Structure 1
Amino acid sequence: MRHSPTLPAGHHLFRQGEAFRTLFMVHSGSIKTYRDLGDGRSQVLGFYLPGDLLGLEGMYPGRHCQSAAVLESSSVCRLSLRQLEMLPASANRIQLRLLDLASRELSNAMGRDLERCVESRMAEFLLDYGKRMADRGWSAVAYQLAMSRRDMGSYLGMAPETVSRCLRRLTHLGLVSFDRRAVTIHDPDRLRSVSVEGTAALH
């Protein structure tokens, strides 16, 4: 895979509607994907960390149905469509890895239940992000969020004001604390209860 130079925040790897030509794996930094809704608004679909693969959604239709933008200074590795077509049939490890990443992305997309209460959605998001950080060798309970609260709200189906209100409530209860975008989870067990039971776990 070809390694890119450092990309600045705001740089697009691909845009919605463009022909699929390349898969991208995050080497450093973080990327968000989003979809234009056609009325001037957009919806954030996912956040990608080092080791995550982007672009799989464009493989079958041959055209991307979402855009991918850099959140912070990042670098990626590229695997072109031509390189994919040239993979020998014996490259089972690569094929299995691609299937694993594709199924994980589908599972994450299907697992977001926007009908649950906002505290439940936020708790699950913070815990899941911490797990993803831990999978990469970092702390699961003290980490930096690269996305804005607006992007977080778009992903979770909340207005930015609701995000701020929800975070203040979780902070007031002593479950988490924030210093700008730095997150510290103080009570992961209770936060996990909130993610499952919603506001009932807060009483």
Structure 2
Amino acid sequence: MTRTQADYTQLITSRHIEAVVIGASAGGVEAMLHLFRSLPQRYQLPIIAILHMREMRESKLADLFQHYVSIKVKEAQDKETIRNNTLYFAGPGYHLSIEQSREFSLSCEPPVHFSRPAIDFLMESAADTYGERLAGILLTGANEDGAVGLQKIKHAGGLTVVQDPQEAMADYMPLAAIKLAAPHLVLGLRDIQQFLIALGEQHVH
């Protein structure tokens, strides 16, 4: 069920979110550009994003997005401490996870849902680290990666959001997440954009 701004405002104010993880596959570049280009320069939270891409030696995602996004954008590095006011992208060829020390870890375990990096891998580790202080968002995509991870975030007490399948370029991923994880919110991109901004606004000092 799609919910309104009033619904998610109450959810946000009841928690102290410290990080956001976002995953997407087919159609994800356009969806994420839509979400991130509106973030204010003062945005307080770290956002960690995975976009399924064909495996390659290097990714230009961080460079591409930095042209459109006002906060710092970079590829997550092994043993790097997670900072606020930064959008991180998982690089190609490695799973990305978050340690209890709130540092990134890169690893070479087998692909999950044919993907490495996998959204589930990131979301499950983030849920273990941040618990109820985490928000997880799943967007358009053509497989079920992210459904299990989103379910784990919800079980850990975090906030869970899925893009409305009716407006997703590929509805398989959001439909799988809705079926398995019963997310708190199912929203269109415009509302997810406002949700993200509202999360950051909660923590402007």
Whether TM-score is above 0.5 comes out as no
Structure with the higher fraction of residues in helix conformation? 1
TM-score (norm 2): 0.30
Task: Report which structure shows greater RCO (CA 8 Å, sep ≥6).
Answer: 2
TM-score normalised per structure 1: 0.30
